Structure 1
Amino acid sequence: MSLTPTHDRRALLTGLLGSACAMGMGGIAPANNMKSRPQRLSPERSMIPFVDAHIHLWDLNHIRYDWLSPPFSDDGPNGSVESIAHDYGVAQYRADLARWNVVGAVHVDAGAAADSALRETQWLDGLAAIDGLPTGLVAFAALNDPDIDTLLAAQAAHPRVKGIRHIVNWHPEPKRTYGPVDLTLDPQWQAGYALLARHGLSFDLQCYPGQMPGLAPLIERHPDIPVILNHMGMPVLTDADGLNDWRRGMKALAALPHVAVKLSGMGFIRRDWTLDSIAPLVRETIDLFGADRCAFASDTPTDKLFATIDQYMESYHAIVADFAQSDRRALFGGNANRLYRLGLDL
């Protein structure tokens, strides 16, 4: 990982974190609303090839998504999703990313019912054949399903399918948790996880930091299963020790060389995020994993619940503006291309 000669990453990170004022959000500084302030980006930055490591598409008339169906409520982990509960296809995606040099995109399972997972893959394959996107797919399969080997084989039969995601976020607070139990403690789930290697599939891990130390030994036992952690590990900054929990969990996973992380989902971390509030977390994540194991992603349209995609992209480019060009090209394109085995010529 290289830096420009005039910057030392650890020194800058220390300065960023040291300036955080206690204690409203776990020691991360509140900030003026810089996400609403337009950023002046050089043409060179906006033309860096972007392989979007995490997107969602859906046609609500084709596949049902319970979480995108009324009635809507503010009680869930991320509040009401009514504003994004409409069809979102490749044309809408391209419009949202029009300012950025998108050369590839990875679709991650969008929360369809389990019995529609294969149909979602088939639908996305059809889109890709016509529109050129998505480039790769991370499909859904419930790793605790008794028939998981068959489910994985069916997904792996599609060449665009590179990995599997089974969301496992568990938290003792009912409004924060995604499910009633911590699936990662289930031996059947762990056995299903082990089968991913047989089918040449990676795993997109979406969990909370408190689950990471317990997951680390399982992940370590299977170095042939690449793991891509979603949304920067989703720190729960409203927890009393949320920032330290995140650091402990991230260090446990960063110690495993086959684990990478997506830099995305800032609104899941803090709905009122600003450039100032997320920059220390992004920089610390890159410092832990290295620039070769991190990948920026838009997480559109889900992240549009909290800001425009341009605001995210402007902020991401600003955060790493001092990095060497080779690192920036890796963070925005090269790493996702490698991690998901897309074979793009960058």
Structure 2
Amino acid sequence: MQVVDPHIHLWDLRTHRYPWLEKPGVSFVGDARELQHDYLLEHLLTDAQDVEVLKVVHVEANHDPADPVEETRWLQRIADTDGSHGMPNAIVAGIDLAAPDAPAVLEAHASFANTRGVRQILNVHREKLFDYVGRHFMREPVWQERFALLRRYGLSFDLQVYPSQMDEAAALARAHPDTQFVLNHAGMFVDRDSVAGYRAWRDGLHVLAACPNVAVKISGLAMFDHDWTVESLRPYVLATLDAFGVERAMFASNFPVDRLFGSYSALWHAYAAIVAGASDTERSALFRHNAERTYRI
């Protein structure tokens, strides 16, 4: 099996600072204490086993917020090293668009050859267990104003929100039609204990999919289904494909986070089993070509 993996994370605890890994704890996405070790490109490729990884997209790993550009600098050095095959082929850099230095940070990120986009985690939830940032950035005028700078540098935006935020996210996408948005982790359907929660996720996917500049990564499902099987993942994969179509969806590993709940090979083969009835062209799009097109690699 050949894949282009559009959502991986690397970290080097010896040379870089990741505050969330300094005193890791247990949360709804798993036991971060099991991630408190270096995870480098060679570890990912070893984890791949029988999966041939052609290209990867690195998404910011919550690096030291005092120096987000250092993560991009480090990743570019890796990509430029002989034997790396150009990996990570694309970098989605970390940014806080509300920070005073955001314009300078964006310019610095954009100066690296493999930078293709940025991500700022926006997840807000009424329950503290699920709340990442405790702040509705999309409602802040300064944040909105800074967001417009992405177009200047031709950067995409990896969108990480919950279903309850999808209407606001769609409004943001409509306001910036020239910016490519990529919804992370199939919309992070966390409210799974009610019909209303399912409807919010399903309807939110369709609201976002109505924006032609929004694509989706089918990834991170194991964070919400620790004992997943092919059949338990199937309805979420198919509902996401129903909303976005094969043309704007891509499978991704979210490794090493999803490594807490299964192997790299098992995850990719599960995706393959779910879409076994698709055409060769459709499977190529989901496993390789859509990621290449979206991240220009």
Structure 1 counterpart of 2:133, which letter?
A: G
**Cα distance between partner residues in 2 of 1:263 and 1:307:** 16
The structure having more radius of gyration, on CA atoms, is 1
1:86 to 34, 37, 54: 37
**Cα distance between partner residues in 2 of 1:166 and 1:60:** 21
Q: Within the alignment, does 1:140 sit opposite 2:91 as a pair?
A: no
Q: Equivalences for 1:217-232 in 2 at 5 Å? A: 217-232=171-186
SS in 2 for 1:184: helix
**Preserved contact between residue 215 and residue 244 of structure 2 (Cα < 8 Å):** yes
**Cα distance between partner residues in 1 of 2:241 and 2:224:** 17
Query: Mind listing any 5+ residue stretches in structure 2 that lack a counterpart?
Result: none
Q: Which residue of 2 aligns with 1:102?
A: 53
**Preserved contact between residue 29 and residue 224 of structure 2 (Cα < 8 Å):** no
TM-score, structure 1 as length reference:
0.82
- Aligned-residue sequence identity (percent) comes to 41
**Preserved contact between residue 106 and residue 138 of structure 1 (Cα < 8 Å):** yes
Q: Equivalences for 1:87-236 in 2 at 5 Å? A: 87-130=38-81, 131-132=84-85, 133-236=87-190
Q: How big is the alpha-carbon RMSD for the aligned residues of Structure 1 and Structure 2?
A: 1.2
Q: How many residues align?
A: 293
Q: How far did 1:272 drift?
A: 2.4
**Preserved contact between residue 202 and residue 239 of structure 2 (Cα < 8 Å):** no
Is the alpha carbon distance of 1:182 and 1:239 closer, same or farther for their aligned partners in structure 2, counting shifts above 3 Å?
Answer: farther
Q: Which residue of 1 aligns with 2:243?
A: 288
SS in 1 for 2:217: strand
Deviations 1:145-168 (A, max 9, x none): 222221111100111000000001
SS in 2 for 1:52: strand
Greater Cα shift, 252-261 or 297-306: 297-306
Q: Which residue of 2 aligns with 1:315?
A: 270
Q: Equivalences for 1:268-283 in 2 at 5 Å? A: 268-283=223-238
2:220 to 255, 259, 265: 265
Query: Mind listing any 5+ residue stretches in structure 1 that lack a counterpart?
Result: 1-45
Q: Equivalences for 1:2-17 in 2 at 5 Å? A: none
**Cα distance between partner residues in 1 of 2:198 and 2:137:** 23
**Cα distance between partner residues in 2 of 1:188 and 1:80:** 35
Is the alpha carbon distance of 1:268 and 1:187 closer, same or farther for their aligned partners in structure 2, counting shifts above 3 Å?
Answer: farther
2:3 to 22, 36, 50: 50
SS in 1 for 2:125: coil
**Preserved contact between residue 249 and residue 290 of structure 2 (Cα < 8 Å):** yes
1:329 to 271, 281, 284: 284
Q: Within the alignment, does 1:256 sit opposite 2:208 as a pair?
A: no
SS in 2 for 1:164: strand
**Cα distance between partner residues in 1 of 2:124 and 2:134:** 7
Is the alpha carbon distance of 1:176 and 1:81 closer, same or farther for their aligned partners in structure 2, counting shifts above 3 Å?
Answer: same
**Cα distance between partner residues in 2 of 1:180 and 1:337:** 33
Highest RCO, 1 vs 2 (Cα 8 Å, sep ≥ 6): 1
**Preserved contact between residue 30 and residue 223 of structure 2 (Cα < 8 Å):** no
**Cα distance between partner residues in 2 of 1:85 and 1:122:** 22
Q: How far did 1:80 drift?
A: 2.0
SS in 2 for 1:276: helix
